[in-house]
Amino acid sequence: MPDAVVVRVDPEPIHTASAPDTWWRHAVIYQIYPRSWADSDGDGIGDLPGITERLEYLARLGVDAVWLSPFYVSPQNDGGYDVADYRDVDPVFGRLEDADKLIATAHDYGLRIIIDLVPNHSSSEHPWFQAAVRAAPGGRERARYIFRDGKGASGELPPNNWLSNFGGPGWTRVTEADGRLGQWYLHIFDVTQPDFDWNNDEVQAEMEAVMRFWLDRGIDGFRIDVAHGLVKRAGLPDGVTRQQPTGEPTSSQPMWDQPGVHDIYRSWRRLLNSYNASGPDAEIADEDRILCAEAWVHPPEALARYVRPDELHQSFNFDFLLAPWLAPELREVIEHTLRVADHVGAPQTWVLSNHDVVRYATRLGYPARAGLLRLSGIGADDPQPDAALGLRRARAAAAVMLALPGSCYLYQGEELGLPDATQLPDEVRQDPTWRRSGYTQRGRDGCRVPLPWLADSPSYGFGPSARSWLPQPPSFRELAVDQQDGVHGSTLELYRAYLSARREHGLGHGGLYRVDGYPDDVLALVNAPADNDRLILILANLGPDPVPLPKDAQIIVASNPLTDDGRVPTDVAVWAALAPAI
């Protein structure tokens, strides 16, 4: 590679710039897993008052909104994704008044609040399910869930071959009032998470009432849990068994991505529009309340159906999360998913980590493809990641994501460069995946460990006591907020710089262009705001050799230091302003 590079910006945009006036089209949204963010009362479990006390931290970080994983009343068999009462707060997290205070305080800071809606299933402790088990087969109570007679001479076999996502069968048999084994109920997740029957009018009406309950309390939107799972194929046919990326078999198809889900989302969009003062067709939609799908749907064309203009606002781009750290594949995913979303007029919604996957600072600490195989949790006896490599790449990956047009979701602690806890003792694991998989899949506890705030306090400042519902690894000490705050070069300061530059340069609503002139293992793109007076080069070097920047490029931010002669080393990403004439 020569000392300076002459780049050519492709005049044909991958994506065209848009107006900045619709907040959710370019927002940065921070996910809080309430159990693990901040504990106000010292019981070792995070809570709503803990969040409210520290919202200033998020305002200073520079995010636009917060998504809270569930805090509803729940036996917590799946970290709160097993809801027993959708209209109240679990005592472990506080009270309803605490939710109100959190919402109001967030709004005072200019932060929007998105909460999790769990419509696919309830907890088995939900009064509806309790009533369903007590009721006779065929009645109204059972019709809200998916109860079926078993196969075999005496109904001893499950109604079909569907598996639970957490391992084991997807059906469990109940004992009827007369003491005999009776019908089976479907649970795509844990045995304590019975699936609702979305053909049932009462289910539909109840969930819309729940949405109104929270919208009336002032929340700004919902993240929809398992959005691709609500409707099952009529007749509940057997599924085809497939391998997951983790190597686990999963029966697929008939419970995922059925056309009927789109009718539900059209109805929900009408509901949301009734709250949006500006209405569906207004030019200024800055007050919009939104819906974001968690839909593990592939290909992107199928995912785009969830964000058609009369359906949901956003849908996580999991193809991006799943892409290996290889420039050609990242380039392909970015370009293709943007084009597909553009086709339906939706923004792209980028994400790299969440509470269900191994944090990317850890995944990227493995060879490019091996990281993906570790998506479902790492134990002490597994190969361990190269932490320094993972952090270096994670800082670069964040630069790529945060420079892209569309909305971005951050997962709590990624701004600190937190890795997964990869050496948790198996006895402390709480994710039902570990048990239900017959102790073969470690599950998701490693990414859910409570955050470190203060290096020299008990529980690293997570709460006022030494308690922490999962043990924090010693590596969290030097990553604590107080070790990074104000420290030049820290990951926290780097994220603050990314977010402020993203806002200043309007990257979230810029146009995106391909750049020629670099080798294939260098990801090079240009983001240009609508007026095109500044071109921002995004360059991530995933190749083996340092690469030069174009002449006169002015660096805005770099994920790690450049070489002494100003080249971009391996696994470093840079944003740099280019002269418009290039």
Using the rule CB under 6 A, which residue among 47, 64, 78, 414 binds ligand GLC? Answer: 78
Closer by beta carbon to ligand GLC, 36 or else 527: 36
Q: Is the peptide bond before 194 cis (omega within 30 degrees of 0)?
A: no
Place of tokens 């045995």: 191
Q: Which of 157, 162, 191, 318 is nearest to 249 (CA)?
A: 162
**Backbone phi and psi for residue 454, each to the nearest 5 degrees, phi listed first:** -130, 120
Closer by beta carbon to ligand GLC, 81 or else 129: 81
Active site annotation includes 248: no
Name the DSSP letter for residue 170: S
Place of tokens 């290096």: 455
Site pattern 131..170 for ligand GLC (x: CB under 6 A): ----------------------------------------
Name the DSSP letter for residue 265: H
Closer by beta carbon to ligand GLC, 116 or else 342: 116
Distance CA 173, CA 176 (A): 9
Give me the least distance between CB of 116 and ligand GLC, in Å please.
8
Number of shown-chain residues binding ligand GLC (CB under 6 A): 9
Distance CA 254, CA 332 (A): 29
Within residues 321-360, the interface with ligand GLC by CB under 6 A covers 355-356
Using the rule CB under 6 A, which residue among 39, 90, 141, 225 binds ligand GLC? Answer: 225
Within residues 299-318, the interface with ligand GLC by CB under 6 A covers none
Beta partners for residue 555, in sequence order: 576
Active site annotation includes 311: no
Give me the least distance between CB of 354 and ligand GLC, in Å please.
7
| Nearest residue to the partner ligand GLC, using Cβ | 81
Task: Return the ∠ at Cα 378 (arms to 376 and 379), rounded to 5°.
Answer: 135
Q: Does 47 bind ligand GLC (CB under 6 A)?
A: no
Closer by beta carbon to ligand GLC, 432 or else 529: 432
Give me the least distance between CB of 15 and ligand GLC, in Å please.
28
Residue of 90, 116, 220, 225 marked active site: 225
Q: Where are the alpha helices (DSSP H) in 228-351?
A: 261-275, 300-304, 318-322, 327-343
Give me the least distance between CB of 258 and ligand GLC, in Å please.
17
Name the packing angle between helices 201-216 and 261-275 (round to 10°).
30
Exposed, middle or buried by CB within 10 Å (0-12, 13-18, 19+), for 142? buried
Q: Quick one: how far is CA 392 from the chain centroid?
A: 22
Q: Which of 46, 54, 70 is nearest to 111 (CA)?
A: 54
Q: Which of 274, 336, 273, 276 is nearest to 309 (CA)?
A: 273
Distance CA 436, CA 169 (A): 9
Q: Does 195 bind ligand GLC (CB under 6 A)?
A: no
Residue of 294, 342, 415, 445 marked active site: 294
Using the rule CB under 6 A, which residue among 23, 30, 71, 81 binds ligand GLC? Answer: 81
Beta partners for residue 173, in sequence order: 184
Using the rule CB under 6 A, which residue among 48, 114, 163, 226 binds ligand GLC? Answer: 226
Closer by beta carbon to ligand GLC, 189 or else 222: 189
Site pattern 89..118 for ligand GLC (x: CB under 6 A): -----------------------------x
Q: Where are the alpha helices (DSSP H) in 428-479?
A: 432-436
Closer by beta carbon to ligand GLC, 76 or else 204: 76
Closer by beta carbon to ligand GLC, 73 or else 536: 73
Closer by beta carbon to ligand GLC, 62 or else 70: 70
Q: Does 189 bind ligand GLC (CB under 6 A)?
A: yes
Give me the least distance between CB of 167 and ligand GLC, in Å please.
12
Helix then strand count (H, E) for the chain reads 16, 21
Give me the least distance between CB of 144 and ligand GLC, in Å please.
17
Q: Where are the beta strands (DSSP E) in 373-432?
A: 407-411
User: Is the torsion defined by CA of 150, 151, 153, 157 positive or negative?
Assistant: negative
Give me the least distance between CB of 118 and ligand GLC, in Å please.
6
CA atoms within 13 A on the CB side of 349: 27
**Backbone phi and psi for residue 101, each to the nearest 5 degrees, phi listed first:** -65, -40
The binding site for ligand GLC (CB under 6 A) comprises: 78, 81, 118, 189, 225-226, 294, 355-356
Instruction: List residues with catalytic annotation.
Output: 225, 294
